Amino acid sequence: METMDINARKYELISKVMHIENEFNVQLIENFFERITHNNNYQDESINEIVKPMRKNISISDIKIEQNYHGINLDNFNKLIEEINVQEPLTELLSIN
């Protein structure tokens, strides 16, 4: 989006809103405008809710712990492979046509 003055940006927003046909989306916009017009601090609060500071370092093990990832049970996985009884060669299954 090229740089526009604030009035041009407002008209652009109005134009986009006028093309919305979904009642739910219109209601979301109404609720948003209601919040920002009655709460001058809304912008700061919403940004803090959405934007989280980035960590300088993260490892796969940190992510696994945060997401409670335990991997798969290899025995159960191998049983499923046997039950599926795939006859096609692996190269054919992985090929993209």
Q: What is the total count of domains within the chain? A: 1
- Kindly state whether residue 90 falls inside one of the protein's structural domains: yes
Burial 16-50 (b: 16+ CB within 10 A, else e): eeeeeeeeeeeeeeeeeeeeeeeeeeeeeeeeeee
> CA–CA separation, 18 vs 45, rounded Å?
28
Burial-class residue 3 by CB neighbours within 10 Å (0-12, 13-18, 19+): exposed
35-48 residue pLDDT tens: 887 765 555 566 66
Range of the domain at 90: 6-94
- Kindly state whether residue 66 falls inside one of the protein's structural domains: yes
77-96 residue pLDDT tens: 999 989 998 888 888 888 87
- Kindly state whether residue 81 falls inside one of the protein's structural domains: yes
Higher pLDDT, 56 or 48: 56
Q: Taking the complete model, does pTM exceed 0.75, yes or no?
A: no
Return mean pLDDT, the chain: 83
- Kindly state whether residue 32 falls inside one of the protein's structural domains: yes
- Kindly state whether residue 60 falls inside one of the protein's structural domains: yes
- Kindly state whether residue 1 falls inside one of the protein's structural domains: no
